Structure 1
Amino acid sequence: MNHRPIAFAAAYALLRAASDHSDHWGQSDFDAQCKGATDTAPVEYKHEDGTTVTVGTDGGRRACLHHVLQVTTTQGLVLVAGTRVLGIRLHPAAVAGALAVSGLTHYAADRRVPQGLLQRLAKATGKERFYKLSDFGMNGAYCLDQSWHHSWETLAAAVASLKARAL
């Protein structure tokens, strides 16, 4: 029996749920605020104790890397545990490849330096006005960010399902 379709569906659902949770509930306020900081567009971050720090390029990279490692670790744990519960065995190399796809593309989008990747893509595809939308309860940049993550997680799920079999 071919287990790839089942493994793909399970991997996608597990990757998506883990990403959504860790991207919103698990992400620290510091990482959320500072992951796009650069020396030319620094972020002033005020800690809960009232101290303020200015975050530049190095701090922005570290905040984004911390966030992406947290997301990817959560995805890995949920993917492995979830597929085990479902009786699906994923090949370790396929899981590693899937997590690499998800993590690297998540970093590329979330670093969002001025004129970042998603903004450039939005402009190139005629979606720049939507990207800049922040009205009617909508935020276009956020919607395109989440769509980016969903799309790459679909590819990651396909990678994870390679050589899948039943336990």
Structure 2
Amino acid sequence: MQSTISSAAVRFAVAYGVLTSAHEVGDYIVQRNSDAVAKGKHGPEGAAACARHVTSYTATQAAALWAADRRFGLGLDWRRAAAGLAVSALTHYVADRCAGHWARTDPDAPLLVRIAHDMGKKDWLTKDPRAGALLDQAWHKGWIGLAAAIAAGHRTQP
């Protein structure tokens, strides 16, 4: 029983590390400047820019997860990996569609800002110029943890 727990923990740790590092690459290096600027705009232009960004972001995470699986023989199930990547992609899209609308003093602002207001973080949002970016990254990395847990789950038997 111990080896099953250990192998699951190792798969999770590797998946989390790989998805998090690929997140940094996909979010900051791979993302096109034009998409970074437009992804929060209202309407089809913003939605298309965000979709392009999330597509390249998810491809970056998928390639990194595939490479780690091959290199370390993790034995990840591709269906679970795809489900984990879908969680990461969907939640990334939700947050990034809000990114261009930071109205940090407005409680009617987008999702992440509303959540922070509801948690009593108004002063932090208005006084710390890094608050928006930190909130965004905390959101992403929290969901990456769930994505890694899904991806690293037990392999289903054929």
Both proteins in one fold, TM over 0.5: yes
**1:100 matched residue in structure 2:** 86
Aligned residues: 144
After superposition, the Cα gap between the structure-2 partners of 1:122 and 1:69, relative to the gap in structure 1 and judged at 3 Å, is: same
How far the C-alpha of 1:132 sits from its partner, in A, is 3.5
User: 1:61-76 counterparts in 2 under 5 A?
Assistant: 61-76=47-62
* TM-score, normalised by the number of residues in structure 1: 0.82
Q: Mean Cα displacement is larger for which, 84-93 or 8-17?
A: 84-93
Corresponding residue number in structure 2 for 1:6 = 10
After TM superposition, where is structure 1 displaced by more than 4 Å over at least 4 residues in a row?
A: none
Q: Distance in 1 between matches of 2:80 and 2:127?
A: 38
Q: 1:84 aligns with which of 70, 79, 85?
A: 70
1:33 to 2:37 alignment: yes
Segments of 5+ residues of structure 2 without an aligned counterpart are: 102-108
In the alignment, what sits opposite 1:53? none
Structure 1 residue 134: deviation in Å?
Answer: 4.5
8 Å Cα contact 1:4-1:164 kept in structure 2: no
**What is the rounded CA distance, in whole Å, between the counterparts of 1:132 and 1:37 in structure 2?**
22
Q: CA RMSD of the aligned region, Å?
A: 1.5
CA distance in 1, matches of 2:123, 2:49: 28
Q: Which has the higher helix share?
A: 2
How far does residue 164 in structure 1 lie from its aligned partner after superposition?
4.6
CA offset at residue 89 of structure 1?
1.0
Unaligned runs of 5+ in 1: 39-56
CA distance in 1, matches of 2:123, 2:51: 29
Percent identity (aligned): 38
Higher normalized strand content (fraction of residues): 1
